[in-house]
Chain A
Amino acid sequence: MSQTIKLTLNIWRQAGPNASGQFQKFHRDAVSKDASFLEALDEINEELIQKGEEPIAFDHDCREGICGMCGMVINGMPHGPRTLTTTCQLHMREFKDGAEVWVEPWRATAFPVIKDLAVDRSAFDQIIQAGGYISINTGSPGDANEIPIPKAVADLSMDAATCIGCGACVAACPNASAMLFTSAKATHLGVLPQGQAERLSRARAMVETMETAGFGGCTNHGECEAACPKGISVDYIARLNRDYLKAVVVSQTT
């Protein structure tokens, strides 16, 4: 059995945020099935550098599925065809021999392209700055397990905390909405006892920051949940909707 495949890769090239981009075609005769998608791009880049051409810019860091840097849309799917998998963890054996592959950056007004496949996700940082924290006094750390947290609550919080902030939800959403990300971050803190005091003000501040950053609204398509490499559920979106509405409509403190 052959250990390599032939592929035609169409990769988005864009010189800068305001430049107009286009696809560049790469015919690859022998791509190892065991290579990761990023390794396949690395090989192309080595050849480009040897020829004295500009390598393809793409983000990556951990290459083990936890940092959330390696976002790109492959054949119309954020992080490619395999569910619950980041691009760095995607192997070339997922593609058929002779296949044509289209690679594009996350497309969202709130995530401007820096170059080629690399986008600026600092809009996510703004949302975190608005409420992705719990206010406590620093000093010597409290005792572990000082505040008992029921298992169901801890699980809910931890499931939300698996969000790696990669932006696949925004990329997949027909409206480039950031509701899945925002709701995961708000829930992660909002269900814990330590996060209760600021729960409603957090929901409100994070939603308002998300609004002004240029994301769209949620129309309940569910594409975000399907694209999320960590399987974050749209149930969190309903929870954020609930907390936001409480904050704006009935709360005495927000």
Chain B
Amino acid sequence: MATKALALHQTTVGKKAIMAVTGFIMVGFVIAHMLGNMQVYSANPAAALKAYALLLRSFGGGLWVARLVLLGAVVLHAWAAISLVKQNAAARASRYHVKHDAVTSYAAKTMKYGGFVLLFFILYHLAHLTLHIPVGAPAVADEFAVFERMKAGFEVPWISALYILGNIALAMHLYHGVWSMLQSVGLNHRKYNALRKQAAVAVALVVGVGNISIPVAFMAGIVG
């Protein structure tokens, strides 16, 4: 069989595999990140979060390796997304006058829009809590005053609203993405196919509810 020389990153199947692997890295990160965030509910959240920040910093080079892997994942994921969205739109250049959806979900149909909401949210979130650029929130001088910086931000209603919206977008992205990434790399079996969708619902709910509870708790005065 004569094969034309197309590399992995030149086919839709290859691009989806890149999206799945980078998506998997990011899914692992958002689960761990959400669990870390839960320290706002500890008895002394200011001390707990400060200790956590210092612990992460103590990894030194390791922390930078993790950051670069994540940054690389976001860049590759977004590159593949843009490339696929373009190719897919070109493949259906002429649209149906009437189109009935049989089984797809709102989440699946909005992956591309939700992805861009996430990209914007990630940039805002990094500016706010990683780079300490107080976009719209009162500045907090101490680099390790994590809790105080969260409080200063979440007391501004639109900032809380932005985090809530960003995490709704994240939960929807995970609802389709988590089972989709398994399908994209060929991980399927009749025995656990149903489990893939259940796992996606669970990850979406746990990450979404966990993260959204934080701005809500600050606004309601439960923490802070």
Contacts and interface: CB of A to CB of B under 8 A. Distances in A.
A209 B2 CA distance: 11
B108 interface: yes
B104 interface: yes
Interface string B68-106: 000000000000000010011111111111111111100
Nearest to B182: A238
A237 interface: yes
Contacts of A196: none
Nearest to A211: B11
Contact of A241 (B4, B6, B16, B90): B16
Contacts of B3: 201, 204-205, 208, 254
Contact of A235 (B17, B89, B95, B193): B193
A226 interface: yes
Contact of B97 (A102, A212, A225): A102
A219 B1 contact: no
A221 interface: yes
B8 A221 contact: no
B152 interface: no
Range for the number of chain B residues in contact with chain A: 35 or more
Contacts of A204: 3
A20 B6 CA distance: 35
Contacts, number: 158
Given A76-B100, A219-B108, A238 B188 contact: yes
B115 to A, nearest CB: 12
Contacts of B4: 205, 208-209, 212
A231 interface: no
Interface stretch (A40-48, A138-146, A244-252): A244-252
Range for the number of chain A residues in contact with chain B: 35 or more
Contacts of B8: 245, 248-249
B39 interface: no
Interface string B1-43: 1111011101111111100000000000000000000000000
Interface string B89-131: 1111111111111111000110100000000000000000000
Nearest to B99: A76
B187 A216 contact: no
Interface of B: 1-4, 6-8, 10-17, 84, 87-104, 108-109, 111, 176, 179-180, 183-188, 190, 193
